[in-house]
Amino acid sequence: MDNRNSKAWLYLLPAILFLGVFMVYPLIDVFIYSFEEGYNSASQTFFGVGGYNYSYVLHDPYFLQAVKNTFILVIITVPLSTGIALLISLGLSSIKPLKDLFQTIYFLPYVTNTLAVGLVFMILFRKTPYTDGLANLFLSLFSAGPVDFIDGPYWAKMFVLCFYTVWVVMPFKILILTSALASVKQDYYNAAKIDGTPRFRVFTKITLPMISPMLFYLIITGFIGAFKAYSDAVALFGTNLNAAEMNTIVGYVYDMLYGDSGGYPSYASAAAIILFVIVLTITCINLLVSKKHVHY
């Protein structure tokens, strides 16, 4: 028995070692940092232990702005991207000709570099002395605009960020949902057809429950992913996100560590722990809801 136990530990060792060094230890460390007041990274000393870091972060207008941005981003993009992805996958699974081609096209954004895509979006939306950008050209058709989407009003910038996020996360969701739809057995649809079930009822009573486990998986990972958003904002609005009012919580953490106003690992840790608590809460709520609605 002992022999088997030690063997098991031996097999687990590589994973434990790496996870321990690169995940568990930093996690604990971040937690400790967040309570060390006045930490100085050069001398590695601190004045005392307490909740001041949290209080500072929670009163920092930049942080509050970042929280607001992140929440708006999450609340808009997660339902929107999941919904549109579901519609597209339903479309994809009901067409026959050129199905593979469309699947490939819809999957392309997934394999495209975020920053490259960000550049394309800047060209679409940015106003320059020469052009108002493609989006404004489109708006002018309805005799609206021009709006500066990159340096202009808050809502315009938020629109671009949401649009971009939805576009970037969609391919993965489409991929998952098309395979989930394909795995629903044809027999169920045949049975429904013989009973004369209307299409909408087939969708709500058969298709949706059958793919609900995958749908909830996407919503949960979607929430987590959107809370961690950062690189998308950087790609669109550059590194000085605080000035652009487009910072996210992760962006705030990064700025506190390495940004122009950085060098405060304690504040960064406190912000990171706050983010962790938010994500944990939302995920727990998600799981509770999904237990009620996801079958089998």
Partner 1 sequence: MKLVLQNLTKKFPSRNRKSKEEVVAVNDFTFEIPDGELIGLLGPSGCGKSTMLNLICGLQKPTSGKIFFGDDDVTDLPPEHRGVGLVFQNYALYPHLTVLQNITFPLENLRGEAKMTKQQMVEKATQIAGLVQIDGLLERKPSELSGGQQQRVAIARALVKMPRVLLLDEPLSNLDARLRLQTREEIKRIQRETGITTIFVTHDQDEAMSISDRIVVMKDGVLHQIGKPQDVYDDPVNLFVAKFLGTPPINVFEGFVKDGKLHIGEDIVLDVKGAADEDVWVGIRPEGFVLDENGPFSCTLSGLEVMGRDVSVVSTNEHSANPVIRSIISAENKVDLSSPTVRFALKPKKVFIFRKSTEERIRFDIG
Min CB(197)–partner 1 separation in Å = 5
Helix-strand-coil split of the chain, %, nearest 5: 75, 0, 25
Does 184 bind partner 1 (CB under 8 A)? Our answer is: no
Does 200 bind partner 1 (CB under 8 A)? Our answer is: no
SS3 assignment, position 151:
coil
| x-or-dash string of contact with partner 1, 209-238, rule CB under 8 A | xx-x--------------------------
Min CB(104)–partner 1 separation in Å = 22
Does 185 bind partner 1 (CB under 8 A)? Our answer is: yes
Tell me, what DSSP letter sits at residue 198? -
Please, what sign has the CA dihedral across residues 87, 93, 99, 103? positive
* DSSP code string of 32-87: HHTTEET-BTTTTB-SEESSHHHHHHHH-HHHHHHHHHHHHHHHHHHHHHHHHHHH
Does 199 bind partner 1 (CB under 8 A)? Our answer is: no
Min CB(205)–partner 1 separation in Å = 8
Does 100 bind partner 1 (CB under 8 A)? Our answer is: no
- Name the H helices within 183-244: 186-194, 199-202, 208-227, 231-237
Burial class (CB in 10 A: 0-12, 13-18, 19+), 139: middle
Does 190 bind partner 1 (CB under 8 A)? Our answer is: yes
**Pick from 194, 200, 288, 292: which binds partner 1 (CB under 8 A)?**
194
N- to C-terminal Cα separation, the chain: 37
Where does this chain touch partner 1 (CB under 8 A) — which range of 117-125, 181-189, 240-248, 283-291?
181-189
Tell me, what DSSP letter sits at residue 24? I
Q: How open is the CA angle 27-30-33, to the nearest 5 degrees?
A: 150
Q: How many residues bind partner 1 (CB under 8 A)?
A: 20
Does 96 bind partner 1 (CB under 8 A)? Our answer is: no
Pick the closest to residue 176 from 225, 243, 137 (CA basis). 225
| x-or-dash string of contact with partner 1, 276-295, rule CB under 8 A | -------------------x
Q: Which is nearer to partner 1, 197 or 239 (CB)?
A: 197
Q: Which is nearer to partner 1, 115 or 191 (CB)?
A: 191
Q: Give the whole-angstrom CA distance, residue 132 versus residue 62.
A: 30
Where does this chain touch partner 1 (CB under 8 A) — which range of 121-129, 147-155, 188-196, 228-236?
188-196
Does 201 bind partner 1 (CB under 8 A)? Our answer is: yes
Q: Which is nearer to partner 1, 2 or 187 (CB)?
A: 187
Question: Tokens 């005799």 label which residue?
Answer: 143
Residue numbers of the site for partner 1 (CB under 8 A)?
185, 187-188, 190-198, 201, 205-206, 209-210, 212, 295-296
